[in-house]
A and B are shown apart, each in its own frame.
Chain A
C-alpha cells in the first residue's frame, strides 16, 4: 500500500516537473549551468589586465600583462605586474588543474627578494591578490561548478536573459567556495552570466558581479570590463582587460616557475 502511494506521488511529481519544464521551453537550471560550463574557453589569450580596487571613494590600481593558456589538464595564468611602481617586475603564475585530485599551484616572483615564492595553496574562497575576487572566481572564469551547486531555473528577466539560481549542495561546499548560493542573469546568446549576486554561506547578500563587456578571441569569450562589489566591506574591484588578443603558441618557458624572474621582460 505504502509502495503504491510512493509510486503515485513520484509519478505526480515527475509529471508536474515535466509540465513545468515544458512551460519554460524545456529549460532547466541544470541545462543552463551545463551550457555555461560547456562554453569554449581554451583559446590562449593575452592582454593587459587592470584591477582598480575601490574603498570609500579611494582607489588603488594594479596593472599587469596577462597571458592565459589552457592545456588539456591545466588552466595557466601568468600576470606580470608593472603598476604600481613598488611591485613592478612582480610576476604571478597559477596552475589550475582540472583534476580534482591535484592541488592548484601558485607562485609569485618578488624582485625585492630576487626569489620566486610558492604561494600556499589558497582556499577557493580566499581573496585573489587583495581584490574583491576570490581565487575560486578566477579559476571558475564565470562558470558555476556543476558539482558545487543545485541549480534552479528562475524564469526570464525583462531583458530576455535567463535567471539561474544556485544553492551550494552542502554546507561544507558552501564554506569551501565561500558562497551559499547565487542568482545570475545569463545571456542566452553567449551563455555568459552578465550579473551575479552571491550570498554567503549563511544566506546573506555577499557580493555582486556585473559584466559590462565581453570580447571574443577564437571561440572563447572573455569578460573585459566587469565590477565585483563586496556588500559586506563596501569595497569594489573594477577589472578591465585591454588589448585582448589571441596569444600565439606561447613560449612554454614563460610558464616555468623556475624562470618566473624572467617573465616580466618576455611577455608577448
Chain B
C-alpha cells in the first residue's frame, strides 16, 4: 500500500524502508529472503520435505472413537472396570430393546419368539462375545411342592407360552426393570462385544438382526456404550467427509475476498493442505489414534495456516503496489523481510498454545491434539516462508488499483484513531465488557453427559430415553468385590454382607436398582426352605451348596456376569437414572463412602467401577487439571511473546487481547450453558495461541513505526492499517474455518468450533481496540524501550 505521507523522488526509498523496518536490526533478514528466492528448489525442498515425512504417518492412522480414550488408564475406577471386563465380560455391551407400544404387554408369542431367536443368533455374530443375556437366556428359580429346585427357562423355545413365561418372569424380581421394563411392555437383550471400541460392524449386524426378527408393531432401539462408540465412529467418518470440502470452500472464499485474485489462493491452498497433511500424518507417526476430537484437527490447522498466507500475500501485494516498476522478486523479498518475523513469532506462540494442551492435559486425546496441532502450525510456518513466496510472486500480483480496500481500511483506521484519541473510554468500555464477560464466565460448570455427543433425535438418545423411562436406566455403577481367595464369596456371611451393601447403595437417591448374585442365593434359600421373602441363609456353607445344586440343575454360566469362576470376585451392579457427571457426583460420593465403610466393616475389598465411576474419575481429573492447562498455555505464550518481542510491556499488550478473547469464550459458554467437558476444555488453550497473533502483528508494526519517530497518529496509519486488514482477514478466515467444525454431527464438536471462532474474533476486536488505546497511554515508554 502506498504511504500517503510520502511523495517526490525519495518516495520509493521511504516505502522500502517502511516495509523493511519491522525486523530486528541485528538479524540480516534480507539475506534470508534473498536465499529463499535465490535458491527456489532448495527452498521448495526444505518446505516440502517435512510434509512428505509426516505424510508417511497417514498410512498408520487408526481410529478410536471411544470415550474411554479420554480416561487415564491408571485411574482406580478404570482399573476396577478392566478387572470387571476380564472377569465378568459384561462391561460396555450393546443393548438392544424391543419395545411394544407403552402399556402393551411384551409377553406375547411373536415377541417372545423374536427375543429367543435374537438371543441365540446374536451370540453367533462376528464381534459378539459369549454371554448374551435376555429373558431368552434366563431361567427362573423355583421349588417344587416337594422342595426340589426347578430352573425352567423363562421362554421355552419348544413351546412358547406367554402366560407361563410371564408367570416365571414374575418369580424373578431381579429381572424387573433390567431385562423387562417396569410395565412389561419392552424387553432388553444385553450383548457383550469383543471390542466395545470397534463395534461398528457388530452393532450394524445386531440392528439388522433385530429388525429382521422384530414382529410388526415392535420398535427396535440400540443403546449401550458399544453402540454409542459405533455411532461416534460413524460421526467421525461423516464429519471427515463434510469438514474437508467445506473447509476448502469456506477458506477459499475468504482467501479470495482477502487476496482478490483467483490464482492468488493456489499458494495458500498448498500451504493449508501441507499443514493439515503434516498434522494428521503426525498422529500416525507418534503412534496416536484418530479420536473423535481429532476430526476437527485438519480444519483447525487449515484455518490457522491460512493466516500466515494472508499476511505474506498482502505484504507482497502492498510491496508490488508501492513499487510497480520493481521486480516481483524484489517485492517478495520486501514482503518476506516484513512479515517473516511476525509469522515466526505468531507460529511459535500458537504452537505453544497447543503445546500447553500437550503438557497440561491428563487426557491423551487432548494432549496429542495439542502436540500434532503444534506440528501443523510449525509446518504451515515453514511452508509460508519457503514454498508460498515462490508461488505467490508468480500468481498473486494485483493491479495497483485493486490492492487497496478503501472501505475496510478506512473503517479499521477509524477504530485505531478512535481508540488512540479516547484511550480512557476505549479501556473503560473494554473493561466493562470484560467485567460483564467475567460475570457470565462464572456461570460455566464442569459437566459431562454422553448424550451431548449426539444430536437431538439420534437413535441412541431415543434408546437412552427409553431405558430411563421404562427400565432402571442404562447408566451403570458397579462395585467389584474381592473376597481375597477362591470360594470366599460363597459363605452365608459374605452373601449377607453383599446383600447389605446392595441395600445401602439402593437407598441412595438416583439409584434405580441394584443387583448381585445375592438375589439368586436369597431366592434359592427362600424357595428351597420355604423361608420368608428376603431371608438369607445362615448356615455357612449353604450358598456354596445352593450354587452347587444350581450348577447341577441349570446352566453354570448363568452367574458369570455376577460371580467369577473362582467365586472370589463379585459384581454388584447399580442402574442410575441419568448419566450426567454433576447429577451423579453426589451419588458417586455417597456410594464411595458406603463402599469404604462397608469394606472396613467386612474386611472385603471393594472398588467402585462401571461407566459412571469411570466418567466421574476422568471428569475429576479434567476439572483439577483445567486451570493448570490454561495457565500453562497462557504463560508459555506470554513468555514466548516477551522473549520474541524483547519487551515486557509490548508482550503484555499483545497478550491483553488474548485474555479478553478467553474471557469472552468462557462468557459465551456461560451464557449458552455449554459445559466444560473434554472437547470444550481445549478451546481456551487453543484460543490463547491464536489470539496473540493479532496482538503480535499490531504491536510489532506499531512499535517499529513509533521507533522511527512517528507520532502515534502517524504510526496508526499507513502500513499499520494494512497489518490491521491482514489481521482482520486472518481472524475472519480463522473464524470461518472453525465454524466449519460446527457442521459436525456431534454437538460437542459444534460448540468447540464455534467457541474458538468466537474467541478468535474477540481477540481480534480486543487487539484492534486495545493496542492503540494502551499505546496512547504508553507511547513514550514504547518508543524508548525500542530505541
A contacts, CB < 8 Å to B: 53, 55-56, 58, 60, 84-88, 90, 92, 106, 108, 110-113, 115, 117-120, 122, 126-130, 202, 232-233, 235
Q: A120-B150, A233-B130, A233-B557 are in contact. Are A86 and B545 (CB under 8 A)?
A: yes
Q: Mark B477-498, 1 if CB is under 8 A from A, else 0.
A: 0000000001100110000000
Say yes or no: B553 contacts A112, CB within 8 Å.
no
Say yes or no: B487 contacts A119, CB within 8 Å.
no
Say yes or no: A120 contacts B545, CB within 8 Å.
no
Please, which residue of chain A has its CB at the minimum distance from the CB of B148?
A: A118
Q: How far is the CA of A235 from the CA of B545 in the complex (A)?
A: 22
Q: How far is the CA of A202 from the CA of B123 in the complex (A)?
A: 13
Would you give 22 A-B contacts (Cβ < 8 Å), ordered by A? A53-B565, A58-B566, A60-B565, A84-B487, A86-B541, A87-B548, A88-B541, A108-B548, A110-B545, A110-B549, A112-B537, A115-B147, A118-B144, A119-B552, A126-B554, A127-B555, A127-B557, A130-B551, A130-B552, A202-B124, A232-B130, A233-B557
B528 interface contact, C-beta 8 A: yes
Say yes or no: A117 contacts B548, CB within 8 Å.
no
Q: How far is the CA of A122 from the CA of B551 in the complex (A)?
A: 11
Say yes or no: A111 contacts B545, CB within 8 Å.
yes
A82 to chain B, nearest CB (A): 13
Q: A112-B539, A113-B528, A233-B130 are in contact. Are A92 and B557 (CB under 8 A)?
A: no
Please, which residue of chain B has its CB at the minimum distance from the CB of A233?
A: B130
Please, which residue of chain B has its CB at the minimum distance from the CB of A127?
A: B556
B407 interface contact, C-beta 8 A: no
Residues of B within 8 A of A87 (CB): 541, 544-545, 548
Say yes or no: B146 contacts A90, CB within 8 Å.
no
Residues of B within 8 A of A111 (CB): 541, 545
Residues of A within 8 A of B567 (CB): 60
A111 to chain B, nearest CB (A): 7
Say yes or no: B148 contacts A117, CB within 8 Å.
yes
- Pick from B151, B552, B565: contact of A58, CB below 8 A: B565
Say yes or no: B147 contacts A117, CB within 8 Å.
yes
B149 interface contact, C-beta 8 A: yes
Residues of B within 8 A of A129 (CB): 548, 551-552
B529 interface contact, C-beta 8 A: yes
B88 to chain A, nearest CB (A): 12
Say yes or no: B149 contacts A86, CB within 8 Å.
no
Say yes or no: A86 contacts B544, CB within 8 Å.
yes
Q: How far is the CA of A118 from the CA of B549 in the complex (A)?
A: 10
Q: A113-B542, A117-B147 are in contact. Are A86 and B487 (CB under 8 A)?
A: yes
Say yes or no: B487 contacts A130, CB within 8 Å.
no
Residues of B within 8 A of A108 (CB): 548-549, 552
Q: Mark B517-544, 1 if CB is under 8 A from A, else 0.
A: 0000000000011000000010111101
B151-168 interface (Cβ within 8 A of A): 151
Q: How many A-B residue pairs have CB under 8 A?
A: 93
- Pick from A60, A128, A130: contact of B486, CB below 8 A: A60
Residues of A within 8 A of B151 (CB): 120
- Pick from B124, B149, B150, B566: contact of A60, CB below 8 A: B566
Residues of B within 8 A of A92 (CB): 552
B742 to chain A, nearest CB (A): 47
Say yes or no: A90 contacts B545, CB within 8 Å.
yes
Say yes or no: B130 contacts A120, CB within 8 Å.
no
Q: How far is the CA of A197 from the CA of B77 in the complex (A)?
A: 42
Say yes or no: A117 contacts B528, CB within 8 Å.
yes
Q: A58-B565, A130-B556 are in contact. Are A112 and B545 (CB under 8 A)?
A: yes
Q: How far is the CA of A90 from the CA of B545 in the complex (A)?
A: 8
B contacts, CB < 8 Å to A: 86, 124, 130, 144, 146-151, 486-487, 490-491, 528-529, 537, 539-542, 544-546, 548-549, 551-557, 565-567
B714 to chain A, nearest CB (A): 80
Q: How far is the CA of A56 from the CA of B88 in the complex (A)?
A: 12
Please, which residue of chain B has its CB at the minimum distance from the CB of A115?
A: B147
Q: How far is the CA of A84 from the CA of B148 in the complex (A)?
A: 23
Please, which residue of chain B has its CB at the minimum distance from the CB of A58?
A: B566
In addition to A86-B544, A117-B528, A122-B553, 7 A-B residue pairs with Cβ atoms within 8 Å of each other are A113-B529, A117-B147, A119-B148, A119-B149, A120-B149, A120-B151, A128-B552
Q: How far is the CA of A58 from the CA of B149 in the complex (A)?
A: 29
Residues of A within 8 A of B147 (CB): 115, 117
Q: How far is the CA of A232 from the CA of B555 in the complex (A)?
A: 15
Closest 4 CB pairs of A and B: A86-B544, A130-B551, A112-B542, A130-B556
Say yes or no: A113 contacts B545, CB within 8 Å.
yes
A264 to chain B, nearest CB (A): 13
A172 to chain B, nearest CB (A): 10
Which of A119, A128, A232 gathers most chain B CB within 10 Å? A119
A262 to chain B, nearest CB (A): 17
Residues of B within 8 A of A127 (CB): 551, 555-557
Q: How far is the CA of A113 from the CA of B538 in the complex (A)?
A: 11
Q: How far is the CA of A118 from the CA of B144 in the complex (A)?
A: 10
Q: How far is the CA of A56 from the CA of B544 in the complex (A)?
A: 22
Q: How far is the CA of A58 from the CA of B565 in the complex (A)?
A: 8
Residues of A within 8 A of B146 (CB): 118
B520 to chain A, nearest CB (A): 15
Please, which residue of chain B has its CB at the minimum distance from the CB of A122?
A: B553
Residues of B within 8 A of A86 (CB): 487, 490-491, 540-541, 544-545
Residues of B within 8 A of A126 (CB): 554-555
Q: How far is the CA of A202 from the CA of B541 in the complex (A)?
A: 40
Which of B147, B148, B555 gathers most chain A CB within 10 Å? B148
- Pick from A56, A106, A233: contact of B552, CB below 8 A: A106
Q: How far is the CA of A84 from the CA of B544 in the complex (A)?
A: 10
Say yes or no: B549 contacts A117, CB within 8 Å.
yes
Q: How far is the CA of A55 from the CA of B567 in the complex (A)?
A: 12
- Pick from B86, B148, B541, B552: contact of A112, CB below 8 A: B541
B605 to chain A, nearest CB (A): 17
Say yes or no: B548 contacts A90, CB within 8 Å.
yes
B233 to chain A, nearest CB (A): 28
A139 to chain B, nearest CB (A): 14
Please, which residue of chain B has its CB at the minimum distance from the CB of A128?
A: B552
Residues of B within 8 A of A112 (CB): 537, 539, 541-542, 544-546
Please, which residue of chain B has its CB at the minimum distance from the CB of A114?
A: B539
Q: How far is the CA of A128 from the CA of B554 in the complex (A)?
A: 9
A92 to chain B, nearest CB (A): 7
Say yes or no: B149 contacts A117, CB within 8 Å.
yes
Q: A60-B486, A86-B487 are in contact. Are A119 and B566 (CB under 8 A)?
A: no
Residues of B within 8 A of A117 (CB): 147-149, 528, 549
Residues of A within 8 A of B545 (CB): 86-87, 90, 110-113
Q: A58-B565, A60-B565, A86-B541 are in contact. Are A130 and B548 (CB under 8 A)?
A: yes
Q: A58-B566, A113-B528, A233-B130 are in contact. Are A120 and B553 (CB under 8 A)?
A: yes
Q: How far is the CA of A224 from the CA of B421 in the complex (A)?
A: 103
Q: How far is the CA of A115 from the CA of B529 in the complex (A)?
A: 10
Q: How far is the CA of A92 from the CA of B487 in the complex (A)?
A: 20
Say yes or no: B565 contacts A55, CB within 8 Å.
yes
A57 to chain B, nearest CB (A): 10
Residues of B within 8 A of A119 (CB): 148-149, 549, 552-553
B517 to chain A, nearest CB (A): 14
B669 to chain A, nearest CB (A): 47
Residues of B within 8 A of A55 (CB): 565
Residues of B within 8 A of A84 (CB): 487, 544
Residues of A within 8 A of B557 (CB): 127, 233
Residues of A within 8 A of B540 (CB): 86
Which of A53, A87, A202 gathers most chain B CB within 10 Å? A87
Q: How far is the CA of A235 from the CA of B144 in the complex (A)?
A: 32
Q: How far is the CA of A232 from the CA of B486 in the complex (A)?
A: 24
A53 to chain B, nearest CB (A): 8
Q: How far is the CA of A86 from the CA of B545 in the complex (A)?
A: 7
Residues of B within 8 A of A60 (CB): 486-487, 565-567
Residues of A within 8 A of B554 (CB): 126
Q: How far is the CA of A87 from the CA of B544 in the complex (A)?
A: 7
A42 to chain B, nearest CB (A): 26
Residues of A within 8 A of B86 (CB): 56
